Structure 1
Amino acid sequence: MYRLLVVDDELFAIKGITQGIEWSDLQIESVMEAMDVDEAKQILGSERVDVLISDIEMPGENGLELLEWLQTHSPNTETIFLTGHANFSYAQRAIHLGSFDYVLKPVDHDQLKETVRKALELIREERELLDFHETYKMYYQQWTQQLPALVERFWQDVLAGRMPLSPQRLQASLDMYEIPLSLDGHILPVLISVEEWKEELSTRDEEIMEYALRKAAAEIILQEGPGAVIQDRGDYNLALIYLAPGESLDRTSIIARCKEYVQACNRYFYCSLSCYIGDEAQIGGLQQSLNRLLEMERSNLKLMNEVFLQQDVRGSADSMLPPPSFTDWLVLFEAGKKDELLTRIEEKLDSMQKEEVGQESLAAFFFGFMNMVYLFAHKKGLSVNEIFTAPEMMDMGAVTRSYHHLRTWATRVVNAAVETTGSKLKDVSAVIAKIQHYIQTHLNEELNREDLAALVYLNPAYVSRLFKKETGVSLSEYIQTVRMEQAKQLLAESNDKISSVAEAVGYSHFSHFAKLFKKITGITPQEYRKRFQEFVE
């Protein structure tokens, strides 16, 4: 809807225009009147006016002076002047000052209405154009804000092999995401490997710190040169330095930058990390270059807070050391001899590090140690979930990335197990202990609350409440936990059929056992047996 203002010092001239013309069919919602320029300025200062119809010659300030005032105070208002033949020079000046049009007096109402219609059409077009520019501006700002994420997604797709590497497709993507790299240019990848956080961090805090590490890498490693620092979906951080065709990078300079970055991260972000500098590669060879860097990282089991050039770290042949005596360790574990057990673990890992054993030996240690902890938990009537309280405690990849990580993990697990055992079992009464022992020795039988209560001559409801109060879990949860731990032991230590294992722990229906096992462990019984027996034997 539009608003119209008519200015003339003759009342009958104003009324003839405001009342003698039907304006509603032009979507004009308001028609206002002013007898001189001062009154017009008051209206224009407080109301939106889309079209101004004004006489040029008026006492005091005239229409041309009002037009000059409009250019500053209401520039979006379109002006149509009324003028006589004798003052045609005024009309020319009005057009020069930006007036939309002029109409000669005496006014022809049809001609004036048509002129106003054209002015409104121009206003509508200008508004649509303005809306378009505002919309474009808004989306362009959003695009600009999202551009770093889009660039990161592009490189993720390239590294994962999801991006077609045809020249046309790559060039279109480089142009779209404003990546300053040509098809015959090269990229120097720098893998940033976070080896250890020196403080306990929640998942959210760790994500925030990883973001800070990437920002610092952009500032210190890239400096002001072209490139990007991304986090791949494999959760590693990668700095990509863009090189123009024929450009060579001073390796001494990039090594110095990476060393400065490592020191800064040690100081400000409380973490240990290393940088692995790869070989220059074009876009098509970037994935292969990165794979070599990841292999370097996997092969580095000892050194931390270092900067490596490709091939600096080489995987050594995996020495065949005798495995730890997990049976002897379990005896110490059950006897509560924590300090002696930790000493044995330290000695074994020192020996493995001295012999420079590789990833396979570290993985074998991990699975053998896990199996020992499962046996310990089973014999203590505990759930391993009470010991492995954090998901990363069961992540073999994170645990076996270095001797340091494996040593820290093993110590943490032993301490958690001893602490959990003490807190869970110190207050268990003789009644509950008897029930627990009965459950552990009769897993292949039907176990229900009524029979267990009869065993200790107590009311079933009271036994349920007492058991939950003293152990922290319900009877049914405890029975399920013990059965699953026993099943894991049988799967790891025997070659019995899985259906026989299910029956041995009280599950007559194999399918129910398999579904429950996978729900609790995340893997099938077959996968569990293969994984543990493969590494423990």
Structure 2
Amino acid sequence: MFNLLVVDDEKIAVKGITVGIDWEAFPIGQIFEALDVNEAKQVLSQNRIDIMISDIEMPGSNGLQLQEWVRTHSPQTETIFLTGHANFEYAQQAVRLGSFDYVLKPVDHDRLQDIVKQAIEKIKEDQEQSDFNETYKTYYSHWVNELPSLVEKFWQELLSEKIPANEERLTRNFQMYEIPLDMTSRILPILISVEHWKEELNARDEEIMEYAIRKAAAEIIVVEQAGCVIQENGSSLVLLYVAEGSELSIPDIKAKCEAYISACHRYFQCSLSCYVGEETPLVKLTAKVADLFQNERNNVTRSNCVLLQNEMDQPLQHKPQAPTFSDWIVLLESGKKAELVARIQENIDRLQKTDDVGSETVEAFYYGLLHVVYHVLHKKGLAVGDMLPRQELQDYNSATRSLNQLRNWAVRMASVSCDYMNSHLKGVSAVTAKVCQYIDEHMEEELSREELAASVFLNPAYLSRLFKKETGLSISEYSLKVRMEKAMKLLAETNDKISYVAEQTGYSHFSFFAKMFKKYSGLSPQEYRKNFQG
């Protein structure tokens, strides 16, 4: 509904419009009256006025002066002027002030109604346009916020060749995503390779930290240079845009990368390297990025540094000699952990002093030690899978990333293998029996894995694996089995309260006991007792 205000210094003229005209056919909500400009301003200040019908000639401030005030304080109001003189100068001034129309006195009611009807239509159209503009503004704001993600997705699809690198398609995407490039532009790619996190991170935390290092790369490496930082194949990739006729300074890029590495080491507790490529045309970008990933794979000796393309393209002069794995087999079979670890350390020290170590050398070392472990444990009749989880045992991606990580993996593998084999061959059945007895005797207590391990002087993780191998059950599964069997016996053979049965089997909360009992037996404690005693 629309509100109407009529302003005239003659009350009869006001009533002639507000009462003399039948407004029922119009979507008019409220009709207000004012006999001078001040009174009109008061009405406009207190109410939403959609249409104002005002006389021009009034004592004191006139209608044109009122319109000037309305333009500032109630700009949505459409004004229709009334005048007793066909003065063209008045008409010009009324139009200049943004009035909708004007009518000569005496007022023709039909003519005035037609003009009001037109004003209402204009207000509706303006409101629709305003609503559209607000909607567009809202979604445009959302689109702007999502623009970095859209740009990242575009580059990912281009690098994976999901979209064709033809001029028409690329030009359209550049315009859509506001990327300042054309087909003559070049890109300088920089691969960021995180080599080590000082703190052990779970998957979620590592994802957060990788997001943080991408933001830092945008702030330190890209800075004022046009470009972006995207996630590509699990790593971060900087793409610097090079316009036609311009050229990037490699020394400046290297200095920024060095500052970035230092900042990441300080604030994010990680070591990483930057692999700086060369300026390349758009159509060759995918191949150039693939070269950077290959350079990362081949680099196993240098870390926490900036590597330029010309440094990475130098061919290997010779391949270092692989260790004598047959000697390692003898050491592992004899359980000589200290000697085996020392031999591993010596070999990796020798590799680190050689500049020409490539990924093939690291792979040969990795698979060679795995062969030693599998060969010896199988020969002894032991299952390698019981020693370590498969993902930890064969952690290829982590172990072969650098010589330092290869060292960590190899030393741990040799130590665990010797400990596992020596402990197993000393008769672990006695250890398992002792743990079972301890669980039976302390059933009413809440036992932790660490407490059980301390009772037999073993590492908790090692004890868990050992116990599972010996009994076929984890420690928690065995503990649950013993408790539930005792609970079944008490429920079937006694009339003790169920809460007392729960306490006797180590459960301080009845509801948790009932939940575990039903999960184990398929029946609630009450149902189980009823079935057996009935």
Secondary structure in structure 2 of the residue aligned to 1:26: coil
Match status 1:306 vs 2:305: yes
Q: Kindly tell me: are residues 242 and 442 of structure 1, through their superposed partners in 2, closer, same or farther at Cα, counting changes over 3 Å?
A: closer
Partner of 1:360: 363
Unaligned stretches of 5+ residues in structure 1: 475-537
Q: Matched residues in 2 for 1:395 and 1:42: separation? A: 80
Q: Matched residues in 2 for 1:208 and 1:67: separation? A: 58
Question: After the TM superposition, which of the residue ranges 396-405 and 409-418 deviates more from structure 2?
Answer: 409-418
State the AA in 2 paired with 1:70.
Answer: V
Q: Matched residues in 2 for 1:426 and 1:20: separation? A: 107
* Residues 432 and 467 in structure 2, CA contact (< 8 A), matched pair in contact too: no
Q: Kindly tell me: are residues 86 and 279 of structure 1, through their superposed partners in 2, closer, same or farther at Cα, counting changes over 3 Å?
A: closer
Deviations along 1:226-260, one digit per CA (max 9) or x if unpaired, are 2222111x111111122233544333332233223
Deviations along 1:198-230, one digit per CA (max 9) or x if unpaired, are 223343333333223223322332332222221
Q: Matched residues in 1 for 2:377 and 2:49: separation? A: 82
Secondary structure in structure 1 of the residue aligned to 2:25: helix
Cα offset, 1:326, TM superposition: 7.0
Question: After the TM superposition, which of the residue ranges 122-131 and 169-178 deviates more from structure 2?
Answer: 122-131
Cα offset, 1:331, TM superposition: 6.2
State the AA in 2 paired with 1:173.
Answer: N
State the AA in 1 paired with 2:16.
Answer: G
Match status 1:225 vs 2:225: yes
Q: Matched residues in 1 for 2:165 and 2:92: separation? A: 63
* Residues 3 and 29 in structure 2, CA contact (< 8 A), matched pair in contact too: yes
Secondary structure in structure 1 of the residue aligned to 2:301: coil
Secondary structure in structure 2 of the residue aligned to 1:43: helix
Alignment of structure 1 residues 480-499 onto 2, 5 Å:
none
* Residues 84 and 104 in structure 2, CA contact (< 8 A), matched pair in contact too: yes
Alignment of structure 1 residues 79-98 onto 2, 5 Å:
79-85=79-85, 89-98=89-98
Deviations along 1:143-172, one digit per CA (max 9) or x if unpaired, are 222222211111111111112011111111
Partner of 2:263: 264
Match status 1:15 vs 2:15: yes
Deviations along 1:256-291, one digit per CA (max 9) or x if unpaired, are 332232223223332111111123221111111111
Partner of 2:108: 108
Correspondence for 2:485 among 450, 461, 472: 461
Unaligned stretches of 5+ residues in structure 2: 425-430, 440-455, 457-464, 490-504, 507-515, 517-534
Partner of 2:446: none
Q: Kindly tell me: are residues 84 and 369 of structure 1, through their superposed partners in 2, closer, same or farther at Cα, counting changes over 3 Å?
A: farther
The percentage of counterpart residues that share the same residue type is 46
Partner of 2:135: 135
State the AA in 1 paired with 2:60.
Answer: G
Secondary structure in structure 2 of the residue aligned to 1:312: helix
Q: Kindly tell me: are residues 118 and 72 of structure 1, through their superposed partners in 2, closer, same or farther at Cα, counting changes over 3 Å?
A: same
Q: Matched residues in 2 for 1:225 and 1:438: separation? A: 60
State the AA in 2 paired with 1:361.
Answer: A
Secondary structure in structure 1 of the residue aligned to 2:133: helix
* Residues 325 and 369 in structure 2, CA contact (< 8 A), matched pair in contact too: no
* Residues 321 and 352 in structure 1, CA contact (< 8 A), matched pair in contact too: no
* Residues 80 and 102 in structure 2, CA contact (< 8 A), matched pair in contact too: yes
Partner of 1:429: 436
Cα offset, 1:195, TM superposition: 0.7
State the AA in 1 paired with 2:361.
Answer: G
Deviations along 1:440-494, one digit per CA (max 9) or x if unpaired, are 5898xxx9xxxx99xx9x99813999xx99xxxx9xxxxxxxxxxxxxxxxxxxx
Cα offset, 1:139, TM superposition: 2.5
- Output the TM-score relative to the length of structure 2: 0.71
Q: Matched residues in 1 for 2:402 and 2:87: separation? A: 95
Partner of 1:35: 35
Cα offset, 1:438, TM superposition: 11
Secondary structure in structure 2 of the residue aligned to 1:52: strand
* Residues 392 and 398 in structure 1, CA contact (< 8 A), matched pair in contact too: no
Partner of 1:163: 163
* Residues 377 and 384 in structure 2, CA contact (< 8 A), matched pair in contact too: no
- Output the TM-score relative to the length of structure 1: 0.71
Q: Kindly tell me: are residues 194 and 15 of structure 1, through their superposed partners in 2, closer, same or farther at Cα, counting changes over 3 Å?
A: same
CA RMSD of aligned residues (A): 4.3
Partner of 2:279: 280
Partner of 1:209: 209
Cα offset, 1:27, TM superposition: 2.0
Q: Matched residues in 1 for 2:299 and 2:153: separation? A: 29
State the AA in 2 paired with 1:251.
Answer: I
Q: Kindly tell me: are residues 92 and 308 of structure 1, through their superposed partners in 2, closer, same or farther at Cα, counting changes over 3 Å?
A: closer
Alignment of structure 1 residues 51-450 onto 2, 5 Å:
51-85=51-85, 89-232=89-232, 234-310=233-309, 312-313=311-312, 317=319, 319-323=321-325, 342-343=341-342, 345-347=344-346, 349-350=348-349, 353=352, 356=357, 358-365=361-368, 367-368=370-371, 384=388, 395-410=395-410, 428-430=435-437
* Residues 192 and 236 in structure 1, CA contact (< 8 A), matched pair in contact too: yes
Q: Kindly tell me: are residues 394 and 10 of structure 1, through their superposed partners in 2, closer, same or farther at Cα, counting changes over 3 Å?
A: farther
State the AA in 2 paired with 1:269.
Answer: F
Secondary structure in structure 2 of the residue aligned to 1:85: coil
Q: Matched residues in 1 for 2:300 and 2:155: separation? A: 28
Q: Kindly tell me: are residues 269 and 31 of structure 1, through their superposed partners in 2, closer, same or farther at Cα, counting changes over 3 Å?
A: same
Q: Kindly tell me: are residues 198 and 2 of structure 1, through their superposed partners in 2, closer, same or farther at Cα, counting changes over 3 Å?
A: same
Cα offset, 1:317, TM superposition: 4.0
Cα offset, 1:124, TM superposition: 2.0
* Residues 329 and 372 in structure 2, CA contact (< 8 A), matched pair in contact too: no
Deviations along 1:307-347, one digit per CA (max 9) or x if unpaired, are 21225345664744333777667668xx8x87676545534
Question: After the TM superposition, which of the residue ranges 261-270 and 346-355 deviates more from structure 2?
Answer: 346-355
Q: Kindly tell me: are residues 87 and 186 of structure 1, through their superposed partners in 2, closer, same or farther at Cα, counting changes over 3 Å?
A: closer
State the AA in 1 paired with 2:195.
Answer: E
Question: After the TM superposition, which of the residue ranges 144-153 and 356-365 deviates more from structure 2?
Answer: 356-365
* Residues 4 and 49 in structure 1, CA contact (< 8 A), matched pair in contact too: yes
Q: Kindly tell me: are residues 118 and 329 of structure 1, through their superposed partners in 2, closer, same or farther at Cα, counting changes over 3 Å?
A: farther
* Residues 362 and 403 in structure 2, CA contact (< 8 A), matched pair in contact too: no
Q: Kindly tell me: are residues 329 and 136 of structure 1, through their superposed partners in 2, closer, same or farther at Cα, counting changes over 3 Å?
A: farther
Q: Kindly tell me: are residues 157 and 393 of structure 1, through their superposed partners in 2, closer, same or farther at Cα, counting changes over 3 Å?
A: farther
* Residues 330 and 372 in structure 1, CA contact (< 8 A), matched pair in contact too: no
